[in-house]
């Protein structure tokens, strides 16, 4: 669909990074599902190529020769999943917008349930992972901790065991467009927006092909982005640690003075070193927490665009 054409009822946004072997199956299942929806809603499928290094771009272009209503958005480089998703949401014109990953762990067939709940009156319909196939115990455990710790430390009530796979109404999309923070945590932003929200449970499939783009290191960075975007608790934690360390030092000083007046004050190199290391550790933790927040402030005040688009192609 071209600018000026009638706005579609549904937009499906899919960020892709090195998903060459998933493109054909992804598009065929997604388009087949949308075409089978009651009422035959008009639609567009927006593929955001996030600087892929494999044959993802060529695979999408091949599909565009035979499939209508496809929009290919090429970013100038790899900006990361959250910013690639943001680019797709910014371009989407549908009355309802569905965001999903391109690895087929989130089944496109769930779109029908999303649309049904949206037509009932919900503004956000998110998918709740009842089970996760093809993932190690370590990944399952760390993911479980990730969702619960993030929810516990943030002010916004973020549903646990959910990803970015969801449907959002037009007014939710317009609200998200007003939030231009760079360290984005989309599932948190959607919860922050509010409106009527509901969840649908499903069993998450194993990845169709390729490797995960979220190893433990990225999950940790993602969790830090989520926590620092929606909570000042880490700053309070640094303050509490400072008070605890000060109280410890004060009590220790009283004990030393008592021992001194009792003439039982012997050299204590071990206790001195332990105290120095403890206080130094507390200070470094506090500085590190401040650094995380200050770094994000620095990124925000630079005012750079969230992403840059190289070109847009339409079938």
Distance separating alpha carbons of residues 292 and 198, to the nearest angstrom: 33
Distance separating alpha carbons of residues 226 and 277, to the nearest angstrom: 30
Q: 277 and 243 share a domain?
A: yes
The phi, psi pair for 203, rounded to 5°, reads -100, 120
**Radius of gyration of the chain measured on its C-alpha atoms:** 25
Closest-CA residue to 209 (of 45, 3, 56): 56
pLDDT tens by residue, 238-273: 666 666 766 776 676 676 667 666 665 556 655 666
Q: 111 and 244 share a domain?
A: no
Residue 184 lies in a domain: yes
Is it the case that residue 38 has pLDDT exceeding 60? Answer: yes
Residue 19 lies in a domain: yes
pLDDT of residue 104: 83
Between 127 and 222, residue with greater pLDDT: 127
Q: 220 and 249 share a domain?
A: no
Q: 206 and 245 share a domain?
A: no
Distance separating alpha carbons of residues 162 and 46, to the nearest angstrom: 22
Q: 194 and 291 share a domain?
A: no
Is it the case that residue 49 has pLDDT exceeding 60? Answer: yes
pLDDT of residue 88: 92
Is it the case that residue 312 has pLDDT exceeding 50? Answer: yes
131: CATH: 3.90.550.10
pLDDT tens by residue, 65-115: 888 889 999 999 988 888 999 999 999 999 999 999 888 888 889 898 899
Residue 142 lies in a domain: yes
134 band by pLDDT with thresholds 50, 70 and 90: low
pLDDT of residue 72: 93
Is it the case that residue 11 has pLDDT exceeding 90? Answer: yes
Q: 42 and 114 share a domain?
A: yes
- In terms of average pLDDT, the best of 114-123, 254-263, 274-283 is 114-123
pLDDT of residue 46: 93
Residue 87 lies in a domain: yes
Q: 253 and 213 share a domain?
A: no
Residue 185 lies in a domain: yes
Q: Kindly give, in sequence order, each residue whose CB lies less than 8 Å from that of residue 38, ignoring residues fewer than 6 positions away.
A: none
- What mean pLDDT comes out for the span 200-227? 66
- What mean pLDDT comes out for the span 43-65? 89
pLDDT of residue 97: 94
Q: 53 and 172 share a domain?
A: yes
Q: 115 and 21 share a domain?
A: yes
Report the domain count for the chain: 2
Q: 57 and 159 share a domain?
A: yes
Between 70 and 194, residue with greater pLDDT: 70
pLDDT of residue 277: 62
Alpha helices in the chain (DSSP H): 23-35, 56-64, 81-91, 111-120, 137-153, 170-177, 186-193, 216-230, 233-261, 269-302
Mean pLDDT value across the chain: 79
Domain span at residue 267 reads: 233-302
Distance separating alpha carbons of residues 240 and 237, to the nearest angstrom: 5
| 49 touches 16 (CB < 8 A) | yes
Q: 266 and 142 share a domain?
A: no
- What mean pLDDT comes out for the span 12-32? 89
Helix (DSSP H) and strand (DSSP E) numbers for the chain? 10, 8
User: What does the block give as tokens for 235?
Assistant: 């700053």
| 13 touches 49 (CB < 8 A) | no
Q: What is the percentage of the chain residues whose pLDDT exceeds 90?
A: 16
Q: 184 and 248 share a domain?
A: no
pLDDT of residue 68: 85
pLDDT tens by residue, 220-233: 666 666 666 666 66
Residue 4 lies in a domain: no
Closest-CA residue to 88 (of 156, 17, 18): 17
pTM of the predicted protein model: 0.69
Residue 2 lies in a domain: no
1 band by pLDDT with thresholds 50, 70 and 90: very low
The phi, psi pair for 98, rounded to 5°, reads -110, 125
Residue 208 lies in a domain: yes
Is it the case that residue 2 has pLDDT exceeding 90? Answer: no
């Amino acid at each position: 669909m071209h600018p000026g054409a009638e706005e579609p009822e549904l937009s499906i946004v899919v960020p892709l990074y090195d998903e060459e072997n998933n493109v054909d199956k992804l598009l065929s299942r997604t388009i087949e599902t949308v075409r089978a929806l009651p009422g035959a809603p008009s639609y567009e499928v927006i593929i955001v190529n996030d600087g892929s290094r494999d044959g993802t771009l060529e695979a999408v272009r091949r599909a565009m020769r035979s499939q209508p209503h496809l929009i290919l958005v090429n970013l100038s480089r790899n900006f990361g999943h959250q910013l690639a998703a943001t680019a797709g949401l910014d371009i989407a014109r549908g009355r309802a917008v569905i965001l999903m990953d391109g690895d087929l762990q989130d089944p496109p067939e769930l779109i029908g349930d999303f649309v049904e709940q949206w037509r009932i009156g919900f503004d956000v319909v998110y998918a709740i992972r009842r089970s996760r196939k093809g993932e190690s115990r370590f990944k399952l455990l760390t993911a479980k901790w990730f969702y619960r710790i993030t929810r516990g430390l943030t002010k916004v009530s973020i549903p646990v065991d959910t990803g970015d796979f969801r449907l959002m109404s037009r007014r939710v999309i317009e609200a998200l467009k007003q939030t231009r923070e760079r360290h984005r945590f989309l599932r948190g932003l959607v919860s922050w927006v509010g409106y009527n929200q509901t969840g649908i449970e499903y069993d998450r499939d194993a990845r169709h092909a390729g490797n995960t783009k979220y190893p433990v290191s990225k999950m940790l960075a993602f969790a830090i982005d989520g926590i620092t975007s929606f909570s000042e608790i880490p700053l309070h934690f640094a303050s509490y640690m400072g008070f605890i360390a000060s109280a410890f030092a004060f009590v220790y000083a009283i004990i030393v003075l008592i021992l001194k007046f009792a003439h039982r004050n012997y050299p204590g190199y071990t206790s001195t070193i332990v105290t120095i290391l403890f206080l130094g550790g507390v200070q470094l933790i506090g500085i590190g927490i401040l650094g995380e927040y200050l770094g994000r402030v620095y990124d925000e005040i630079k005012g750079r665009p969230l992403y840059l688009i190289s070109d847009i192609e339409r079938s």
